[in-house]
Structure 1
């Protein structure tokens, strides 16, 4: 099911996606049909079509007789997130370097300029949303429906995590946000030249940057291993 751009259903769909990604709608919170019908000027049937579309893309969960809820974020989902992210990101960038069209590369460059502008403005919400857009474009470049579905679901939680946890450290030698922007530029260059090996390497470097920042906020103090990874063994 696709929603026609500019319609009331499309507006509701896009606004709910934005609200979920920016944590205006909290993970696990209920989506009350009466409230949403009033908010978007929709009757229940078209609203339910919107919710079904959101559920199909991973933003919402639908439960019989319990209505719709924003997709939750738990220790289990975070563990799966940490395990899957590097695999999916590197595969996406490798295929993007193989398959990207010139039109997609230009779209990616535009997304990067928007991301850079958000960084310069210090707008956390715009930064999270433009970063989300940048990586979704690479997913379409890859041209693999299975990986794209996985990337789309991954980015929902990555963007929500970024809104909550990803903060630049004052006094750091190199601002991780500036480094992330530089890595975006290098990704574009690798994709444009078809350097799939470098593109995949950059995906892992970019993930490592995000992972290190996220772990500062989600890991208990003193715990060394990233979520989902086996503990480090001490040498005898």
Structure 2
């Protein structure tokens, strides 16, 4: 006797044709998949909010209006809440019950560890890059340095930040370990927020470009030791100015013992 089948659903495919879904008697029901659109929208909201926070378009202390964001994207508050909770896990958003949801201030106590992790990983990439860089790869770094100078001339801080990021990503790619840069990006999110505050400081971009040029020349000379020293000088110089930037933007930072 042929095993019986049960008709469990009738749906329309993309062409509008009705089709029946059948399964054998006693077979387990198919797993229910979560709606893909909700997941996609939540991911997009997360990416957009994260970029706005890191770029300081949403400043430390700014309120996060979930209802307004949901209306902007034409969705319910559920995917917005999902994105907000993920950003809270990263330390970019603070949620205060009965008070509201806000862009977090930059935690001073998190910066030293982030700097140490970044330095350890980038020392490895710049060492490998200096040992194996090709002429075309050096040319790509020089082209990037020219882009940085163009951004400097137009005082395009966001454009300079992106060119700066690309410079360091190129070094990781030349090293043969682009995944290192992915790890660095995950750990330096608070550094990026702080670093963007330094760019308008008179002479700061020129210093960064000079430091990048020193790294580039050491890599071009296939000198790993010099490349590591130039990188360390670059990262240490950024860390030194934390106190000055905190003085200029006191509301953007928080330290242990500060009132909530």
Q: TM-score when scaled to structure 2?
A: 0.58
Aligned to 2:35: none
- Contact 1:166–1:214 (CA<8 Å) still a contact in 2? no
Aligned to 1:196: 224
Q: State the secondary structure of the residue aligned to 1:23.
A: coil
* Equivalent pairs, count: 207
Alpha-carbon distance change, 99 to 51 in structure 1, aligned in 2, over 3 angstroms: farther
Aligned to 2:212: 184
Alpha-carbon distance change, 194 to 159 in structure 1, aligned in 2, over 3 angstroms: same
Q: TM-score when scaled to structure 1?
A: 0.63
Structure 2 CA distance for aligned equivalents of residues 117 and 110 of structure 1: 11
Aligned to 1:18: 51
Structure 2 CA distance for aligned equivalents of residues 105 and 149 of structure 1: 21
Is there any run of 5+ residues in structure 2 with no aligned partner, and where?
Answer: 1-39, 248-260
2:195 matched to 1:126? no
Structure 2 CA distance for aligned equivalents of residues 197 and 69 of structure 1: 44
Q: Work out which of the two has the higher radius of gyration on C-alpha atoms and give 1 or 2.
A: 2
Aligned to 1:91: 124
Aligned to 2:245: 217
Aligned to 1:152: 185
Structure 2 CA distance for aligned equivalents of residues 20 and 134 of structure 1: 22
Quote the offset at 1:110 in angstroms.
4.1
Structure 1 CA distance for aligned equivalents of residues 228 and 213 of structure 2: 14
Aligned to 2:149: 116
Alpha-carbon distance change, 24 to 150 in structure 1, aligned in 2, over 3 angstroms: same
- Contact 2:115–2:191 (CA<8 Å) still a contact in 1? no
Question: Whose strand proportion is higher, 1 or 2?
Answer: 2
Structure 1 CA distance for aligned equivalents of residues 181 and 55 of structure 2: 21
Is there any run of 5+ residues in structure 1 with no aligned partner, and where?
Answer: 1-6, 170-174, 220-236
Quote the offset at 1:181 in angstroms.
0.8
Structure 1 CA distance for aligned equivalents of residues 239 and 64 of structure 2: 30
Which of 175, 197, 220 aligns to 1:164? It is 197
Alpha-carbon RMSD: 4.2
